[in-house]
Amino acid sequence: MTEVQSNASVGRPLPVPTLEELPPLLARTPLAIIDEALTFLRINPAMFFGLAAIVILPLQLIILVLPGSSLRGNRPDRTVDILISSIDQPGAVANGAGTFIFESLALFAVAAIYGQVIAAWYSGRSMTAADLLKASLKRSPAILGAWTLAHLAIVVGGVLSFGILGVLIGAFFIVAAPAMGAEGLGAVETLRRSRLLTTARFGHSLVVYVAVAAAGQVMDFSLRIAPTFILGQLNVPIWVTEGVFDVVASIIVVAFTAATSIVLYVDLRVRREGIDLYMALDKNVTAHQVMGRRG
Protein backbone atom coordinates (compact mmCIF):
# COMPACT_ATOMS: atom_id res chain seq x y z
CA MET A 1 0.00 0.00 0.00
CA THR A 2 2.89 2.36 0.67
CA GLU A 3 4.20 2.04 -2.87
CA VAL A 4 0.78 2.76 -4.34
CA GLN A 5 0.25 5.82 -2.20
CA SER A 6 3.76 7.06 -2.95
CA ASN A 7 3.33 6.65 -6.70
CA ALA A 8 -0.08 8.33 -6.54
CA SER A 9 1.23 11.32 -4.60
CA VAL A 10 4.06 12.14 -7.00
CA GLY A 11 2.25 11.01 -10.15
CA ARG A 12 4.88 8.50 -11.21
CA PRO A 13 3.63 5.87 -13.67
CA LEU A 14 3.31 2.43 -12.18
CA PRO A 15 5.75 -0.08 -13.72
CA VAL A 16 4.40 -2.10 -16.64
CA PRO A 17 5.33 -5.81 -16.57
CA THR A 18 6.80 -7.48 -19.62
CA LEU A 19 4.62 -9.92 -21.57
CA GLU A 20 6.62 -12.75 -19.98
CA GLU A 21 5.56 -11.55 -16.53
CA LEU A 22 1.86 -11.25 -17.39
CA PRO A 23 -0.51 -14.23 -17.29
CA PRO A 24 0.04 -16.04 -20.61
CA LEU A 25 -2.91 -15.90 -23.00
CA LEU A 26 -3.93 -19.53 -22.86
CA ALA A 27 -6.75 -21.76 -21.64
CA ARG A 28 -6.40 -23.19 -18.14
CA THR A 29 -8.05 -25.70 -15.87
CA PRO A 30 -9.99 -24.30 -12.88
CA LEU A 31 -7.17 -25.13 -10.45
CA ALA A 32 -4.61 -23.60 -12.80
CA ILE A 33 -6.70 -20.40 -12.88
CA ILE A 34 -6.57 -20.13 -9.10
CA ASP A 35 -2.83 -20.83 -9.12
CA GLU A 36 -2.27 -18.18 -11.80
CA ALA A 37 -4.24 -15.68 -9.71
CA LEU A 38 -1.61 -15.99 -6.98
CA THR A 39 1.12 -15.48 -9.59
CA PHE A 40 -0.77 -12.45 -10.89
CA LEU A 41 -0.83 -10.85 -7.44
CA ARG A 42 2.92 -11.40 -7.09
CA ILE A 43 3.60 -9.18 -10.13
CA ASN A 44 3.08 -6.12 -7.95
CA PRO A 45 1.65 -7.08 -4.54
CA ALA A 46 2.04 -3.57 -3.11
CA MET A 47 -0.14 -2.14 -5.85
CA PHE A 48 -2.80 -4.85 -5.87
CA PHE A 49 -3.21 -5.09 -2.11
CA GLY A 50 -2.90 -1.32 -1.82
CA LEU A 51 -5.72 -0.74 -4.29
CA ALA A 52 -7.86 -3.28 -2.43
CA ALA A 53 -7.12 -1.51 0.86
CA ILE A 54 -8.08 1.89 -0.57
CA VAL A 55 -11.49 0.51 -1.57
CA ILE A 56 -12.11 -1.62 1.51
CA LEU A 57 -11.00 0.64 4.38
CA PRO A 58 -13.82 3.23 4.05
CA LEU A 59 -16.39 0.42 3.87
CA GLN A 60 -14.86 -1.30 6.89
CA LEU A 61 -15.25 1.90 8.90
CA ILE A 62 -18.96 1.85 8.15
CA ILE A 63 -19.20 -1.81 9.21
CA LEU A 64 -17.49 -1.03 12.53
CA VAL A 65 -20.19 1.44 13.56
CA LEU A 66 -23.10 -0.84 12.63
CA PRO A 67 -24.99 -2.54 15.49
CA GLY A 68 -23.37 -5.85 16.35
CA SER A 69 -19.84 -4.77 15.43
CA SER A 70 -16.83 -5.48 17.66
CA LEU A 71 -16.83 -1.84 18.75
CA ARG A 72 -20.45 -1.96 19.88
CA GLY A 73 -20.47 -5.35 21.59
CA ASN A 74 -22.38 -8.56 20.99
CA ARG A 75 -20.54 -9.17 17.70
CA PRO A 76 -22.06 -11.89 15.47
CA ASP A 77 -19.82 -14.20 13.50
CA ARG A 78 -20.47 -12.71 10.09
CA THR A 79 -23.21 -13.73 7.69
CA VAL A 80 -23.25 -17.38 8.77
CA ASP A 81 -24.65 -16.44 12.16
CA ILE A 82 -27.70 -14.87 10.55
CA LEU A 83 -28.55 -18.23 9.00
CA ILE A 84 -27.63 -20.40 12.00
CA SER A 85 -27.68 -19.12 15.55
CA SER A 86 -27.33 -15.37 15.97
CA ILE A 87 -30.62 -14.17 14.56
CA ASP A 88 -31.78 -13.38 18.08
CA GLN A 89 -28.71 -11.27 18.88
CA PRO A 90 -29.31 -7.51 18.81
CA GLY A 91 -27.65 -6.09 15.73
CA ALA A 92 -26.83 -9.46 14.16
CA VAL A 93 -28.92 -8.85 11.06
CA ALA A 94 -27.66 -5.30 10.54
CA ASN A 95 -24.00 -6.20 10.99
CA GLY A 96 -24.11 -9.44 9.02
CA ALA A 97 -26.07 -7.95 6.13
CA GLY A 98 -23.93 -4.81 6.11
CA THR A 99 -20.74 -6.85 6.10
CA PHE A 100 -21.96 -9.01 3.22
CA ILE A 101 -23.12 -6.03 1.14
CA PHE A 102 -20.07 -3.84 1.64
CA GLU A 103 -17.51 -6.61 1.13
CA SER A 104 -19.33 -7.85 -1.97
CA LEU A 105 -19.44 -4.33 -3.40
CA ALA A 106 -15.76 -3.85 -2.56
CA LEU A 107 -14.91 -7.08 -4.38
CA PHE A 108 -16.77 -5.96 -7.51
CA ALA A 109 -15.07 -2.54 -7.46
CA VAL A 110 -11.59 -4.01 -6.92
CA ALA A 111 -12.07 -6.54 -9.74
CA ALA A 112 -13.16 -3.72 -12.06
CA ILE A 113 -10.01 -1.76 -11.16
CA TYR A 114 -7.87 -4.83 -11.77
CA GLY A 115 -9.59 -5.13 -15.16
CA GLN A 116 -8.37 -1.65 -16.05
CA VAL A 117 -4.88 -2.60 -14.93
CA ILE A 118 -4.72 -5.81 -16.97
CA ALA A 119 -6.03 -4.11 -20.13
CA ALA A 120 -3.42 -1.36 -19.79
CA TRP A 121 -0.63 -3.83 -19.12
CA TYR A 122 -1.39 -6.05 -22.11
CA SER A 123 -1.36 -2.95 -24.30
CA GLY A 124 1.91 -1.75 -22.77
CA ARG A 125 0.39 1.45 -21.39
CA SER A 126 1.64 2.93 -18.12
CA MET A 127 -0.54 4.80 -15.65
CA THR A 128 -0.35 6.35 -12.24
CA ALA A 129 -2.30 4.95 -9.32
CA ALA A 130 -3.99 8.34 -8.96
CA ASP A 131 -5.20 8.26 -12.57
CA LEU A 132 -6.42 4.69 -12.10
CA LEU A 133 -8.41 5.59 -8.99
CA LYS A 134 -9.84 8.72 -10.64
CA ALA A 135 -11.02 6.71 -13.63
CA SER A 136 -12.58 4.16 -11.29
CA LEU A 137 -14.33 6.90 -9.31
CA LYS A 138 -15.85 8.28 -12.51
CA ARG A 139 -17.15 4.82 -13.32
CA SER A 140 -18.51 4.23 -9.82
CA PRO A 141 -22.17 4.74 -10.87
CA ALA A 142 -21.78 2.02 -13.52
CA ILE A 143 -19.98 -0.23 -11.02
CA LEU A 144 -22.74 0.26 -8.45
CA GLY A 145 -25.42 -0.30 -11.08
CA ALA A 146 -23.92 -3.54 -12.41
CA TRP A 147 -23.29 -4.85 -8.89
CA THR A 148 -26.87 -4.05 -7.84
CA LEU A 149 -28.46 -5.72 -10.87
CA ALA A 150 -26.27 -8.82 -10.57
CA HIS A 151 -26.88 -9.29 -6.86
CA LEU A 152 -30.61 -8.65 -7.10
CA ALA A 153 -30.74 -11.51 -9.61
CA ILE A 154 -28.57 -13.69 -7.36
CA VAL A 155 -30.60 -13.00 -4.22
CA VAL A 156 -33.99 -13.46 -5.91
CA GLY A 157 -32.81 -16.64 -7.61
CA GLY A 158 -31.38 -17.94 -4.36
CA VAL A 159 -34.56 -17.26 -2.39
CA LEU A 160 -36.70 -19.02 -4.99
CA SER A 161 -34.50 -22.11 -5.18
CA PHE A 162 -32.95 -22.54 -1.71
CA GLY A 163 -29.70 -21.03 -2.95
CA ILE A 164 -29.10 -23.26 -5.99
CA LEU A 165 -30.23 -20.81 -8.65
CA GLY A 166 -28.33 -18.03 -6.89
CA VAL A 167 -25.07 -19.96 -7.29
CA LEU A 168 -25.78 -20.60 -10.97
CA ILE A 169 -26.58 -16.94 -11.63
CA GLY A 170 -23.45 -15.92 -9.73
CA ALA A 171 -21.35 -18.08 -12.05
CA PHE A 172 -22.82 -16.28 -15.07
CA PHE A 173 -21.68 -12.94 -13.64
CA ILE A 174 -18.26 -13.99 -12.33
CA VAL A 175 -16.35 -11.99 -14.98
CA ALA A 176 -18.70 -8.99 -15.05
CA ALA A 177 -16.38 -6.71 -13.08
CA PRO A 178 -13.21 -7.55 -15.08
CA ALA A 179 -15.15 -7.03 -18.32
CA MET A 180 -16.38 -3.64 -17.13
CA GLY A 181 -12.88 -2.52 -16.17
CA ALA A 182 -11.07 -3.88 -19.22
CA GLU A 183 -13.63 -2.91 -21.86
CA GLY A 184 -15.24 0.19 -20.34
CA LEU A 185 -18.79 -1.16 -20.53
CA GLY A 186 -22.00 0.18 -19.01
CA ALA A 187 -23.91 -1.62 -16.27
CA VAL A 188 -26.36 -3.60 -18.39
CA GLU A 189 -23.83 -4.28 -21.14
CA THR A 190 -21.41 -5.57 -18.51
CA LEU A 191 -23.82 -8.27 -17.37
CA ARG A 192 -24.60 -9.27 -20.95
CA ARG A 193 -20.89 -9.50 -21.71
CA SER A 194 -20.23 -11.70 -18.70
CA ARG A 195 -23.13 -13.99 -19.60
CA LEU A 196 -21.86 -14.23 -23.19
CA LEU A 197 -18.37 -15.23 -22.09
CA THR A 198 -19.44 -17.73 -19.44
CA THR A 199 -22.29 -19.42 -21.34
CA ALA A 200 -20.09 -21.41 -23.74
CA ARG A 201 -17.95 -22.69 -20.84
CA PHE A 202 -20.50 -22.57 -18.04
CA GLY A 203 -19.39 -25.73 -16.24
CA HIS A 204 -15.83 -24.45 -16.28
CA SER A 205 -16.91 -21.05 -14.91
CA LEU A 206 -19.12 -22.67 -12.26
CA VAL A 207 -16.26 -24.81 -10.94
CA VAL A 208 -14.03 -21.73 -10.65
CA TYR A 209 -16.85 -19.78 -8.95
CA VAL A 210 -17.44 -22.46 -6.34
CA ALA A 211 -13.72 -23.21 -5.85
CA VAL A 212 -12.69 -19.60 -5.32
CA ALA A 213 -15.64 -19.05 -2.94
CA ALA A 214 -14.57 -22.07 -0.88
CA ALA A 215 -10.91 -21.02 -0.92
CA GLY A 216 -11.89 -17.50 0.12
CA GLN A 217 -13.89 -18.81 3.07
CA VAL A 218 -10.96 -20.93 4.26
CA MET A 219 -8.58 -17.98 3.93
CA ASP A 220 -11.04 -15.66 5.65
CA PHE A 221 -11.57 -18.02 8.58
CA SER A 222 -7.84 -18.68 9.00
CA LEU A 223 -6.87 -15.01 8.85
CA ARG A 224 -9.55 -13.90 11.32
CA ILE A 225 -9.78 -16.68 13.87
CA ALA A 226 -6.24 -18.02 14.32
CA PRO A 227 -4.48 -14.69 15.07
CA THR A 228 -7.38 -13.57 17.28
CA PHE A 229 -7.15 -16.78 19.31
CA ILE A 230 -3.37 -16.55 19.69
CA LEU A 231 -3.38 -12.90 20.73
CA GLY A 232 -6.31 -13.59 23.03
CA GLN A 233 -4.05 -15.89 25.00
CA LEU A 234 -1.76 -12.90 25.51
CA ASN A 235 -4.63 -10.88 27.00
CA VAL A 236 -4.85 -8.51 24.04
CA PRO A 237 -8.41 -7.07 23.99
CA ILE A 238 -10.54 -9.17 21.63
CA TRP A 239 -12.23 -6.18 19.99
CA VAL A 240 -8.81 -4.85 18.94
CA THR A 241 -7.66 -8.10 17.33
CA GLU A 242 -11.04 -8.69 15.68
CA GLY A 243 -11.05 -5.23 14.11
CA VAL A 244 -7.49 -5.46 12.81
CA PHE A 245 -7.71 -8.96 11.42
CA ASP A 246 -11.15 -8.35 9.92
CA VAL A 247 -9.58 -5.63 7.78
CA VAL A 248 -6.49 -7.68 6.91
CA ALA A 249 -8.57 -10.72 5.99
CA SER A 250 -10.92 -8.64 3.84
CA ILE A 251 -8.05 -7.08 1.88
CA ILE A 252 -6.34 -10.41 1.21
CA VAL A 253 -9.50 -12.35 0.32
CA VAL A 254 -10.88 -9.59 -1.91
CA ALA A 255 -7.56 -9.21 -3.75
CA PHE A 256 -7.27 -12.97 -4.27
CA THR A 257 -10.87 -13.37 -5.47
CA ALA A 258 -10.61 -10.36 -7.80
CA ALA A 259 -7.35 -11.71 -9.27
CA THR A 260 -9.03 -15.07 -9.91
CA SER A 261 -11.86 -13.38 -11.79
CA ILE A 262 -9.30 -11.51 -13.90
CA VAL A 263 -7.47 -14.70 -14.90
CA LEU A 264 -10.79 -16.43 -15.67
CA TYR A 265 -11.80 -13.44 -17.82
CA VAL A 266 -8.61 -13.78 -19.86
CA ASP A 267 -9.11 -17.55 -20.03
CA LEU A 268 -12.67 -17.20 -21.38
CA ARG A 269 -11.60 -14.65 -23.98
CA VAL A 270 -8.93 -17.03 -25.17
CA ARG A 271 -11.46 -19.87 -25.40
CA ARG A 272 -14.28 -17.91 -27.01
CA GLU A 273 -12.50 -15.25 -29.08
CA GLY A 274 -8.98 -16.56 -29.55
CA ILE A 275 -7.30 -13.36 -28.47
CA ASP A 276 -4.02 -15.27 -28.23
CA LEU A 277 -4.27 -16.16 -31.94
CA TYR A 278 -5.04 -12.58 -32.95
CA MET A 279 -1.90 -11.37 -31.24
CA ALA A 280 0.23 -14.23 -32.53
CA LEU A 281 -0.91 -14.01 -36.17
CA ASP A 282 -0.93 -10.28 -36.68
CA LYS A 283 1.94 -8.26 -35.26
CA ASN A 284 0.07 -5.06 -36.21
CA VAL A 285 -2.78 -5.87 -33.84
CA THR A 286 -2.08 -4.33 -30.48
CA ALA A 287 -3.09 -5.90 -27.19
CA HIS A 288 -5.26 -2.85 -26.52
CA GLN A 289 -7.30 -3.56 -29.67
CA VAL A 290 -7.54 -7.25 -28.79
CA MET A 291 -8.58 -6.70 -25.16
CA GLY A 292 -11.24 -4.24 -26.28
CA ARG A 293 -12.61 -6.55 -28.97
CA ARG A 294 -16.04 -7.96 -28.24
CA GLY A 295 -17.21 -11.27 -29.65
More confident residue, 23 or 72: 23
Mean pLDDT (whole number) for 63-71: 58
SS3 content of the chain, % helix, strand, coil (to 5): 75, 0, 25
Q: Indicate the average pLDDT of the chain.
A: 78
Provide the pLDDT confidence category of residue 33 given band limits of 50, 70 and 90.
Answer: very high
Mean pLDDT (whole number) for 275-281: 65
Residue 140 class from Cβ within 10 Å (0-12 exposed, 13-18 middle, 19+ buried)? exposed
The alpha helices in 200-237, defined as continuous H runs, are 202-232
Closest C-alpha to 182, from 113, 82, 258, 276: 113
Tell me which range, 15-24, 104-113, 114-123, is most confidently predicted by mean pLDDT: 104-113
Q: Are 46 and 257 within 8 A, CB to CB?
A: no
Q: Mean pLDDT check: name the lowest of 66-75, 98-107, 142-151, 265-274.
A: 66-75
pLDDT in tens, 242-252: 667 778 888 99
* pLDDT of 73: 45
pTM of whole model > 0.85?
no
Residue type, 33: I
Mean pLDDT (whole number) for 92-106: 70
CB neighbours of 104 closer than 8 A, spacing ≥ 6? Answer: 147, 151
Q: What span, in angstroms and rounded, lies between the C-alpha atoms of 27 and 169?
A: 23
Closest C-alpha to 180, from 213, 209, 140, 151: 140
* pLDDT of 240: 57
Provide the pLDDT confidence category of residue 68 given band limits of 50, 70 and 90.
Answer: low
* pLDDT of 199: 93
Q: Are 180 and 203 within 8 A, CB to CB?
A: no
